[in-house]
């Protein structure tokens, strides 16, 4: 089953009199359970594509489907509703709330999705245990290492049981050891839960974990290796 379908999508940015074509007619399908890397040099369009899949932006033309729903023309509030229940995000700079504990950071999307207090507690501790941080639940981000902060971000992204996790350069601010640890956790959770992961990266260490690699250059897909591979 397709989680995401991109149909002949373009994205053009106009800054003053300068027109930049970030995507030039991209078509791509991502099926349930995939672990896919979007790769390419800076300016290739991979982050733009990730933003369109994540309902953070709209295409200039073409269509984006999430779980069979055309999200291309949704307004800002409708896109926010789609993100809240369906899509989890992992960012390069962790994006944790500094005044909240690890527990409270993971709790945020559960509060937004109406989980009861017991449901929240059970889900948070399940996920913190899964990323190896159950004993750090009460620590704030400044009391955690970079790798630990990104593991909290992984747990937060998974908290509301989304169909799709999007990660933009998830290891860019981590050393080799912590980067590998985060990728191994993401790989294991993908296999155990079946949630789809799509991540943008230029890091060869990260690309090696992918079971499918989609290469972009100048706003076009130039290679698509391992399509549909989930094992």
Q: Where in the sequence is the domain holding 134, given as residue range(s)?
A: 2-224
Residue 183 lies in a domain: yes
Q: Which residue has the tokens 């994006």?
A: 95
* Paired tokens of 7: 């149909």
Domain CATH number, residue 105? 3.40.50.300
Residue 77 has pLDDT above 80, yes or no: yes
Complete DSSP assignment for 58-116: --SEEEEEETTEE-TT--HHHHHHHHHHHEEEE-TT----TTS-HHHHHHHHHHHTT--
Q: Which whole-number Å values give the CA distances from 91 to 2, 47, 74, 135, 229, in the listed order?
A: 24, 11, 23, 23, 25
Residue 226: per-residue pLDDT: 74
Residue 179: in which H helix or E strand, if any?
A: helix 176-193
- Render pLDDT for 104-129 as a digit per residue (tens, 0 to 9): 999 999 998 989 999 999 999 999 99
Calculate mean pLDDT across residues 119-147.
96
Residue 231 lies in a domain: no
Residue 227: per-residue pLDDT: 56
Residue 230 lies in a domain: no
Residue 229 lies in a domain: no
Percent of the chain past pLDDT 90, that is, above it, reads 77
Residue 59 has pLDDT above 60, yes or no: yes
Q: Which whole-number Å values give the CA distances from 51 to 3, 11, 116, 141, 144, in the listed order?
A: 15, 11, 30, 25, 28
Residue 199: per-residue pLDDT: 94
Residue 91 lies in a domain: yes
Count of domains for the chain: 1
The pTM assigned to this predicted structure is: 0.90
Residue 1 has pLDDT above 80, yes or no: no
Residue 164 lies in a domain: yes
Calculate mean pLDDT across residues 215-221.
96
Residue 231: per-residue pLDDT: 52
* Paired tokens of 110: 């559960």
């Amino acid at each position: 089953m397709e989680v995401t379908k991109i149909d002949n999508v373009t994205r053009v940015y106009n800054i003053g009199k300068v027109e930049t074509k970030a995507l030039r007619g991209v078509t791509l399908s991502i099926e349930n359970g995939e672990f896919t890397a979007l790769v390419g040099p800076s300016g290739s369009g991979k982050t733009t594509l990730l933003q369109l899949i994540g309902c953070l932006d709209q295409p200039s033309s073409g269509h984006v489907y999430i779980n069979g729903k055309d999200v291309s023309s949704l307004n800002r509030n409708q896109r926010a509703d789609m993100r809240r229940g369906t899509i989890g995000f992992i960012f390069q700079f962790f994006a944790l709330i500094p005044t909240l504990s690890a527990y409270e950071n993971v709790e945020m999307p559960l509060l937004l999705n109406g989980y009861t207090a017991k449901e929240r507690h059970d889900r948070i501790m399940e996920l913190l245990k899964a990323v190896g941080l159950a004993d750090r639940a009460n620590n704030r981000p400044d009391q955690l290492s970079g790798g630990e902060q990104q593991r909290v971000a992984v747990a937060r992204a998974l908290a509301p049981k989304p169909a799709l996790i999007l990660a933009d350069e998830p290891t860019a601010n981590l050393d080799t050891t912590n980067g590998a640890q985060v990728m191994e956790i993401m790989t294991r959770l993908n296999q155990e839960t079946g949630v789809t992961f799509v991540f943008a990266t230029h890091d060869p260490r990260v690309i090696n974990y992918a079971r499918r690699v989609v290469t972009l250059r100048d706003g076009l897909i130039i290679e698509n290796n391992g399509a549909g591979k989930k094992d």
